[in-house]
Structure 1
Amino acid sequence: MPGYHSAIGPQSIHTSGTTIPPMNSQRRRLLAVSGGALTGGLAGCLGFINRNEDLEFSSSPGSVSQDALDSTGYGEHEIEEAPVEETFEVAGQSRTVRLTNWHAQYDRAVDLQLLDRFQGAVFSVFSTPKFEIAGRSINPIDRWDTDRIVGMVQDRYEGLADLRRTGEYTTPMLGAEPTITEYEGRADITGTGVTIDLQLHVSGAVDHGDDFLLGLAVYPDDLPGEDDAVRTLYDGIEHEG
């Protein structure tokens, strides 16, 4: 699938005496953290699948419609596989379970006084298979509350701190009306010495087709109207599963 290319190149930016590292690496870290955290959280659950054969389950990627992207100014950065593989012992023999998850990543440039312009507003969609056995889904992600999800993200991104719940709302997503939990916090922008206040919006998992999907948004606190943009992105999530 085509990637999204920022107008900001790999050069460093100098503002107010602060040298900002290449925005591509900073954007990559912000975008990748949610997918990496969720994939890592799933990895510890696979050993509970007590079967006598190797197992493999795959999800279909989620995405955001072009209409939603156009109306919010976001662009596609990357849609990539987020696989998990775990090997464990059953009756003295090694068994392997493989999951193919997907992480879709979108962003847009924002203007901040200290940092000039960078890809600081991020929206991601994570899909993971239900991996049913005997008709019963044993993927734990639909039992994770948003506090647990945010805790995983915070553990993955060391510069994220002081996260606290501030509210919640419901919004359309894939034919459902999931509750989106809002958080406030602070984040260090890697290599700059600059800390910004930010907002996080996190959905619980939505059951759609053969998969579970959830969405996560991160953006600087002082962006006017961004909460409406995030609702549009949630409503624009698409999935063939």
Structure 2
Amino acid sequence: MNSQRRRLLAASGVALTGGLAGCLGFVTGDEDLEFSSSPGSVSQSALDSTGYGEHEIEEAPIEETFEIGGQSRTVRLTNWHSQYDRAVDLEPIQRFQGAVFSVFSTPKFEIAGRSVNPIDRWDTDRIVGMVQDRYEGLENLQRTGEYTTPMLGAEPTITEYEGRADITGSGVMIDLNLHVSGAVDHGGDFLLGLAVHPDEIPGEGNAVRTLYDGVEHDG
């Protein structure tokens, strides 16, 4: 797997984890805290019907230590990033793993009855901006529309974007579509989904909707 492809797969998880890390300083108190989410996944039936397969399900932990009132305090979050992909045929590159769907889960932790995790307050422009910062080859991103689709018993709004990127390491820029959901509150965690695929692949938007509808979570 080329480095460009690996970076694209990892970009959303790394970006969201990094974004959350910068917010932990708002957690006040004098005791160490630890919060864990359970991973999201995609049902086998949704994978079979779309041709996607599991690439990797990995922990995306955060640990930060702060000095508060002269005392040290550590906050730990266990997030999860689940990644799926499928091969596509695209001239002149031929066949490559060019369609990606990922699910990010993070704990909905509370302090004194107040939700502290800010991810449910992030709009999709902010999420896409963080991914673009992590994946430098993603260019000319523009919002093109939105739709709603079932996910974990909710109907989140999915925002669509168009952009260009070299995701094969070949130097060939490809027109891409991105689909980004807002956070869904489920089982004590927040989950969101992000899909990336070449613009020229017919019917891929329907496949993405099937994957969103197939998201599962045991939280």
Please tell me the TM-score bracket, short chain as reference: over 0.9
Q: How far 1:27 sits from its partner (Å)?
A: 3.0
Q: Distance in 1 between matches of 2:26 and 2:168?
A: 37
1:72 corresponding residue in structure 2: 50
Residue 142, structure 1, aligned to residue 120, structure 2: yes
Contact 2:89 2:96 in 1 (8 A): yes
- The letter of the residue matching 2:127 is I
**For 2:146 and 2:40, how far apart are their aligned partners in 1?**
23
Task: Give the distance between the partners of 2:167 and 2:28, measured in 1 at CA.
Answer: 43
Please state whether the residue corresponding to 1:51 is helix, strand or coil: coil
Letter of the 1:69 counterpart? L
**Partner AA of 1:191 in structure 2:** G
1:161-217 superposed Cα distances (whole Å, 9 cap, x missing partner): 100110000000000000000000011236321110000000000000110000000
Which structure's relative contact order is higher, taking Cα pairs within 8 Å and 6+ residues apart?
2
Match of 1:238 in 2: 216
Equivalenced residues, count? 219
Give the corresponding residue for 1:214: 192
Read off the aligned partner of 2:117 and give its amino acid letter. N
Indicate the SS of the match to 2:158.
strand
Q: Hey, what does 1:83 align to over in structure 2?
A: 61
Native 8 Å contact 2:3 2:169 kept in 1: no
Q: 1:1-241, aligned counterparts within 5 Å? A: 23=1, 25-189=3-167, 191-241=169-219
**Amino acid paired to 1:101:** N
Asked if the contact 2:43–2:216 (Cα under 8 Å) also holds between the matched residues in 1, the reply is yes
Deviations 1:50-103 (A, max 9, x none): 110110000000000000000000000010000011111101111110000000
TM-score by length of 2: 0.98
Deviates more, 1:89-98 or 1:230-239: 89-98
Q: Quick one: distance in 2 between partners of 1:32 and 1:199?
A: 17
Task: Say whether the 8 Å CA contact 2:5–2:167 is kept in structure 1.
Answer: no
Corresponding position of 1:8: none
- Partners of 1:76 and 1:189 lie apart in 2 by 19
Q: Secondary structure at the match of 1:173?
A: coil
Can you give the 5+ residue segments of structure 1 that lack an aligned partner in the other structure? 1-22
Q: Distance in 1 between matches of 2:24 and 2:168?
A: 33
**SS, match of residue 103 in structure 1:** strand
Offset of 1:24 from its aligned partner? 5.0
The structure 1 segments of at least 4 consecutive aligned residues displaced by more than 4 Å after TM superposition are: none
What CA distance in whole angstroms lies between the structure 1 residues aligned with 2:2 and 2:41? 21
3-state SS in 1 of match to 2:152: coil
**CA drift at 1:26:** 3.7
Which is higher, the Rg of structure 1 or of structure 2? 1
Counterpart of 1:166 in 2: which secondary structure?
strand
Q: Secondary structure at the match of 1:142?
A: helix
Q: Structure 2 unaligned runs (5+)?
A: none
- TM-aligned CA deviation for residue 133 of structure 1: 1.1
RMSD of equivalent CA atoms: 0.9
Q: Quote the Cα distance in structure 2 between the aligned partners of 1:119 and 1:183.
A: 20
DSSP-derived class of the 1:100 partner: strand
